[in-house]
Structure 1
Amino acid sequence: MNQMDLTLRGEFIALDALLKATGLAESGGRARAVISEGQVLVDGQVETRKTCKIRAGQKVVFDGHRVSVKA
């Protein structure tokens, strides 16, 4: 599994924006689609809310990639 870090600019980032910002989804539409299909895990649980607020300390897993969110 590939590991990457994402440093927040504010208090949180929406899940769909995180996938796009890290390059794991080529567009916002694709990010929202894979989230809706249940392909994304947040802290080990399937997350289907497209604009779920991801905060520092959380981990997002999608398509063999793990993103650790930093403050």
Structure 2
Amino acid sequence: MSIREVSIRDDSIRLGQFLKLAGLAEDGSHAKDLIEAQDVTVNDEVEVRRGRQLRHGDVVAVDGEQARLVANR
């Protein structure tokens, strides 16, 4: 399975924002629903906190789609 790389300028980003940025959620409401339904994993562990701070290298997965947070170079 391929992992899409998504770059950001800052050192971290909240999970809800990253889901939208990576195209794993349509909007903030969809991101909230995915997280509440426990459909989101961060580094292979279910995450239920929408405000979880993600750092470079973290891998987020939803329904078999994966995205890795990378530094904007």
Task: Give me the TM-score of the superposition, normalised by structure 1.
Answer: 0.91
1:64 corresponds in structure 2 to 64
2:51 corresponds in structure 1 to 51
What code does the residue aligned with 2:38 have?
A: G
State, as a whole percentage, how many aligned pairs show the same letter. Answer: 34
Q: CA RMSD in A?
A: 1.0
CA positional deviation for 1:2: 4.3
2:30 corresponds in structure 1 to 30
1:60 is paired with a residue of what secondary structure? Answer: strand
| Structure 2 runs not aligned, ≥5 long | none
Q: Distance in 1 between matches of 2:54 and 2:48?
A: 13
Report how many residues are paired.
Answer: 71
Q: What CA deviation, in whole Å up to 9, does each residue of 1:46-71 have, x standing for no partner?
A: 00001100100111111111111112
Q: Which runs of 4+ in 1 moved over 4 A?
A: none
Alignment of 1:15-26 (within 5 A): 15-26=15-26
CA positional deviation for 1:23: 1.4
